[in-house]
Structure 1
Amino acid sequence: MPGSSGHVTVTRSTLRQQIADALRDEVLAGRLQPGQEFTVKEIAEQYGVSATPVREALVDLSAQGLLDADQHRGFRVHEYSGDDFRGMIEARSLVIDGMFHALADGHLAEVRPEEPRVAAALAGVRRRGEEAQRAALAGDVTVLIGYDLRFWRELVSVFGNPYLTDFLHRLRVQGWVYAVQHLRRLPDLRGRLWSEHTALVDALTRRDTDSARAIVEAYNAHSLSLVEGLTDGGTGKGPAQRSARQEPPAPGADTLP
């Protein structure tokens, strides 16, 4: 049965969303492992609520790709593969690159960093990035995930439309779901988690899409390198092993997700 905190009180007004959020956090924290099974009844008993909002929450998470429904056994946490992870990165890279092209070509003329509305939004995104950086440098992956997801969602909402924002957010959640189970195997995450959030915001504030694109491309390349090292049974030292023969990677290079 998921979770280890015992009975949890949930208000009636937002049961469906609160249960979905709580279970998503359990998956992102690695406490609910891929392939782990549970029933509506078990979750309802854990949260002390009726079966209806629990079933609705689980259906919502299934639609987001985090759970698989089994007609006879209930639900289980979806198991993503390395190929899935690579596909997620490829998909989000294509969308982000298209956003950068639109910004560089003037198709997002209404998004001007110097405008008060946009400037205020970017300042908020940057603050979120600063919190994510602190968590990354401290190796606190649980705190990082929360700020990182908010950072990317808010950043894309400034330069993209709501459909792109929701699509990329879902991909990032799924990417973290896959990555966190492997990251938890590393005894010390300090210096291994991506921490270039503010550099990306600063580049976009300057409308320097070349620098922004380079930051994202480096981020994705090193993410793949580390996750492949972890899933191959290593300790996530793919880039570090290379550094024994070459120059050390730049700070924040060994990153996920």
Structure 2
Amino acid sequence: MKQGAHDPAAPGVPEPRLGGAPRVPRQPRAADVRRERAADARTEHEDAPAEGVRGEHTHSERPIPRPRPVVQRSSVRGQILDALRTALVAGNLEPGEVYSAPVLGERFGVSATPVREAMQQLALEGAVEVVPNRGFRVVERDARELAELAEIRALIEIPVMLRLARTVPAERWAELRPLAEATARAASTGCRATYAESDRAFHCAVLSLTGNEQLVRVAEDLHRRSQWPLVGGAFRPARADLAADAAEHTALLNALIARDVEMVRSLVAAHCAGAA
């Protein structure tokens, strides 16, 4: 989506801290934390990460603000993955920086094991890369990569949207208005991570009308990659950019309801190009 100047002082923008946006439950007692860590230690041999990941050195690592919530054992890996994805979009995991699983685990109040598992998933997605004996480095991306992702998205989404414009009835498009309105509310917060989540939800709902689950997965992966920060934090969208991007969702729905194919083509092309 659009990238612009970031406004860290804008109301609604969370203080820079890892995992600030995810809503994860607070662990009630310190004894539970100790029991959880002991259980993770007993199962460590079953969940061993890839060779070269263990033994990260943490003495020179840049400190990260400790998050207020502490993750409970249920769905730990999934909650950590969601938190790391949000931190990545919010810019709290900086491109080029190396983060170790033990240090991140300490911030979340869990063992290093679920953090390594979540980081391995991010490595598969291309967000981070393994640094042997140190941890994981956030991949450095530039404007050219973002432009390439925008081009691929346009190649996929424009013909798909034109087909949907001719076949999906108006009442089905009208059902998506609450999702478009949700993106506008998210944009008004000025929080990049909050907007990214609602933006993906809208686009996935639109493309799901094709009935092609593989298409939705591929498009979602491309969309997620386009939201990762660039080197130096360049092109981070400001509140006005997010609002303009959200307004395009409503305009697109209006064109789809009216079956204005040429307007749909123009809006989708501009929307995808805006990600560069």
Residue equivalent to 1:212: 264
- Decide whether aligned partners of structure 1 residues 160 and 49 sit closer, same or farther in structure 2, where only a CA change above 3 A counts: same
For structure 2, the 5+ residue unaligned runs are 1-61
Residue equivalent to 1:243: none
Runs of 4+ in 1 over 6 A off after TM superposition: none
Q: After superposing the two structures, state which structure 1 stretch, 12-21 or 207-216, moved more.
A: 207-216
1:94-109 paired onto structure 2 within 5 Å:
94-103=155-164
Cα contact 1:85–1:175 (8 A) shared by 2: yes
Report the Cα offset of residue 219 of structure 1: 2.5
Q: Which has the higher helix share?
A: 1
**Structure 1 length as normaliser, TM-score?**
0.72
C-alpha distance in 2, partners of 1:54/1:68? 14
Report the Cα offset of residue 63 of structure 1: 1.1
Q: After superposing the two structures, state which structure 1 stretch, 53-62 or 160-169, moved more.
A: 160-169
Describe the SS at the equivalent of 2:267: helix
Q: Does 1:35 align with 2:66?
A: no
Q: 1:91 aligns with which of 152, 165, 172?
A: 152
Report the Cα offset of residue 127 of structure 1: 1.2
Letter in 1 for 2:253: V
Report the Cα offset of residue 160 of structure 1: 5.1
Residue equivalent to 1:145: 196
Describe the SS at the equivalent of 1:196: helix
Larger RCO: Structure 1 or Structure 2 (Cα < 8 Å, ≥ 6 residues apart)?
Answer: 2
State, as a whole percentage, how many aligned pairs show the same letter.
33
- Decide whether aligned partners of structure 1 residues 12 and 158 sit closer, same or farther in structure 2, where only a CA change above 3 A counts: same
C-alpha distance in 1, partners of 2:107/2:64? 8
Q: 2:234 aligns with which of 155, 160, 182?
A: 182
Cα contact 2:101–2:135 (8 A) shared by 1: yes
For structure 1, the 5+ residue unaligned runs are 225-257
How many pairs does the alignment contain? 212
Report the Cα offset of residue 93 of structure 1: 0.5
**Structure 2 length as normaliser, TM-score?**
0.68
C-alpha distance in 2, partners of 1:148/1:60? 22
C-alpha distance in 1, partners of 2:159/2:82? 30
Root-mean-square deviation (CA), in Å?
Answer: 2.6
